[in-house]
Amino acid sequence: MINLVDLRRQFQSVKSEVLQQVAEVIESGQYVLGSKVNELEAKIAQRLGVTEAVAVANGTDALVLTLEGYGIGAGDEVITTPFTFFASAEAISRVGAVPVFADVDPVSYNIDPVEIERKITKATKAIIPVHLFGQPAEMDKIIELAKKHGLLVIEDACQAFGATYKDQPVGSLGDAACFSFFPTKNLGTMGDGGIVTTSDTDLAERIRKLRTHGTTKKYYHDRIGYNSRLDELHAAILLINLAKIDEWNQKRRELAERYRQHLGGVPHLTLPAESDHSSHIYHLFCIASDRREELMKALLEAQIQAGVYYPRCLHLQEVYAGLGYKKGDFPIAESLSEKLFAIPMHPFLQESEQDQIISILKQKGEN
Q: Which of 334, 123, 160, 65 is nearest to 325 (CA)?
A: 334
**Shortest reach from residue 87's CB to ligand PLP, in Å:** 4
Comparison of 245 and 302: residue with beta carbon closer to ligand PLP: 245
Binding site for ligand PLP (CB under 6 A): 58-60, 84-85, 87-88, 130, 156, 158-159, 180, 182, 192, 194
**Shortest reach from residue 185's CB to ligand PLP, in Å:** 7
**Shortest reach from residue 342's CB to ligand PLP, in Å:** 12
**Shortest reach from residue 336's CB to ligand PLP, in Å:** 15
Comparison of 346 and 364: residue with beta carbon closer to ligand PLP: 346
Enumerate residues 6+ apart whose C-beta is below 8 A from 167.
Answer: none
CA distance 151 to 137: 17
Do the beta carbons of residue 18 and residue 11 sit within 8 Å? yes
For CA atoms 41, 211, 199, 102, give the dihedral sign: positive
Chain residue at closest Cβ approach to ligand PLP: 59
Alpha carbon 344 to its chain centroid, in Å, reads 17
Comparison of 70 and 85: residue with beta carbon closer to ligand PLP: 85
**Shortest reach from residue 267's CB to ligand PLP, in Å:** 31
**Shortest reach from residue 264's CB to ligand PLP, in Å:** 27
Comparison of 135 and 159: residue with beta carbon closer to ligand PLP: 159
Comparison of 60 and 110: residue with beta carbon closer to ligand PLP: 60
Comparison of 36 and 283: residue with beta carbon closer to ligand PLP: 283
Amino acid type, 337: S
**Shortest reach from residue 165's CB to ligand PLP, in Å:** 16
Residue 176 main-chain phi, psi, to 5 deg:
-155, 165
Comparison of 21 and 60: residue with beta carbon closer to ligand PLP: 60
Provide the edge-to-edge strand list for the sheet that holds 194-198: 52-56, 194-198, 176-180, 152-156, 124-128, 77-80, 98-101
**Shortest reach from residue 262's CB to ligand PLP, in Å:** 28
333 strand-pairing partners: none
Strands 98-101 and 77-80: parallel
CA distance 171 to 164: 9
Comparison of 45 and 65: residue with beta carbon closer to ligand PLP: 65
165, containing H or E segment: strand 164-165
Enumerate residues 6+ apart whose C-beta is below 8 A from 338.
Answer: 292
DSSP strands (E only) in 187-331: 194-198, 215-217, 220-221, 278-279, 285-288
Comparison of 10 and 354: residue with beta carbon closer to ligand PLP: 10
Q: Which of 101, 170, 115, 117 is nearest to 139 (CA)?
A: 170
**Shortest reach from residue 279's CB to ligand PLP, in Å:** 18
